């Protein structure tokens, strides 16, 4: 600062060699004002950039937990939700996990292209939202795989009822870009009971039930741990129907 002051004194010194004190004070005040402006500008920039970075961080967090195609939570988000839900189940609340796999979805992609397949997945996501309660969680956890956490369900029959309604809803025809598409859905259900449930074990149970549903005719559901006669009538076609819609 002494160099600055020396320069200010030189500037405030008249040709006669006499120091103009008023001019010097003005220069010193000016230097302080410049420093204040610099600091204020820097503070404002940092404040705004912190706000902006916070907003971007939130945006990234949402993106990291969301399936970009359907807007549903993704596998990672579902795992978090499952962990919390199982904690509640272990404290006595009922919980069911439902895994859904579309039947022969690949045929849609292969025959009509990925854009049509993507559009169908979005429609499926909408139907799932329509069937579920607000407190249930639905996520897209793979290409044509969806998972549901049914929280506070009454008992296994409540979960089975939901599975049946899902299969019925998803098998109805879809009208997309001039095409009528029909696909089925297989559902595997596992319910949490008792106090020592683990999310991975529940998912594995639901996956085994889904495997049975696939093997035993598709377009149907199976409950893990329950061996009984399931309805034999078809809830819908187990093959994919592609048909140009007639307007």
Partner 1 sequence: MIVSESLWNQAAGWDARLGEIGTDAQLVMYFGSRDALRACSPYEVLRSRFPAATIVGCSGTRTIVGSAIEEDVVAVATLTFERTSVRLARALVGAPSESYAAGMELGAALRADDLVAAIVLADGLLVDGSALASGMNRALGARPLIVGGMASDPRDYTEALVGANASPQSGTIAVVGLYGSSLLVAHGRASGWDAFGPRRRVTRSQGNVVFELDGKPAYDLYERYLGEELKSRAASDGVVIPLQIASPERPDATLVRAPLAVDDGPASMTFAGHVPEGWIARLMRGSSDRLILGAGDAARHAHLADDAGAGDTFAFVVSCAGRHQVMGQRTEEELDVVGSELGAATTRLGFYSFGEIAPLETGACEVHNQTITITSFREAAA
Q: Which stretch binds partner 1 (CB under 8 A): 32-40, 61-69, 147-155, 169-177?
A: 32-40
- Residue in 24, 27, 122, 169 binding partner 1, rule: CB under 8 A: 27
| Smaller CB separation from partner 1, 30 or 143 | 30
Residue 24 binds partner 1, judged by CB under 8 A? no
Residue 38 binds partner 1, judged by CB under 8 A? yes
Residue 204 binds partner 1, judged by CB under 8 A? no
Query: How far, in Å, CA of 137 to CA of 83, rounded?
Result: 12
Estimate the crossing angle of helix 105-112 against helix 114-131, to 10 degrees.
140
- Residue in 41, 133, 165, 177 binding partner 1, rule: CB under 8 A: 41
Q: How many residues bind partner 1 (CB under 8 A)?
A: 20
Residue 54 binds partner 1, judged by CB under 8 A? no
Q: Which residues are catalytic?
A: 144
φ, ψ of residue 92 to 5 degrees: the values are 110, -5
Antiparallel, parallel or unpaired: β 221-223 and 184-192: parallel
| Smaller CB separation from partner 1, 41 or 243 | 41
Touching partner 1, residues 56-95 (CB under 8 A): 56
φ, ψ of residue 175 to 5 degrees: the values are -110, 105
Q: Which residues in this chain contact partner 1 in the complex, by CB under 8 A?
A: 3-4, 7-8, 27, 30-31, 34-35, 38, 41-42, 44-46, 48-49, 52-53, 56
């Amino acid at each position: 600062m002494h160099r600055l002051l020396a320069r200010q004194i030189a500037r405030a010194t008249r040709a006669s060699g006499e120091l103009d004190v008023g001019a010097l004070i003005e220069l010193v005040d000016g230097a302080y004002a410049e420093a204040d402006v610099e600091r204020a500008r820097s503070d404002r920039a940092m404040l705004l950039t912190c706000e902006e970075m916070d907003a971007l961080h939130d945006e990234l967090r949402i993106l990291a937990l969301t399936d970009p195609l359907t807007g549903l939570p993704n596998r990672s988000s579902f795992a978090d939700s499952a962990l919390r839900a199982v904690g509640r189940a272990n404290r006595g609340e009922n919980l069911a996990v439902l895994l859904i796999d579309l039947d022969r979805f690949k045929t849609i992609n292969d025959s009509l292209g990925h854009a049509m397949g993507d559009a169908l997945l979005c429609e499926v996501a909408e139907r799932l939202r329509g069937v579920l309660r607000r407190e249930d969680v639905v996520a897209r956890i793979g290409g044509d795989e969806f998972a549901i956490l049914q929280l506070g369900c009454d008992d296994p029959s409540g979960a089975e009822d939901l599975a049946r309604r899902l299969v019925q809803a998803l098998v109805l025809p879809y009208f997309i870009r001039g095409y009528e598409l029909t696909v089925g859905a297989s559902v595997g259900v596992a319910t949490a009971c008792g106090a020592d449930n683990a999310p991975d074990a529940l998912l594995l149970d639901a996956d085994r039930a889904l495997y049975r549903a696939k093997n035993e005719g598709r377009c149907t559901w199976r409950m893990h741990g329950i061996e009984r006669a399931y309805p034999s009538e078809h809830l819908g076609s187990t093959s994919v129907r592609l048909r140009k819609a007639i307007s």
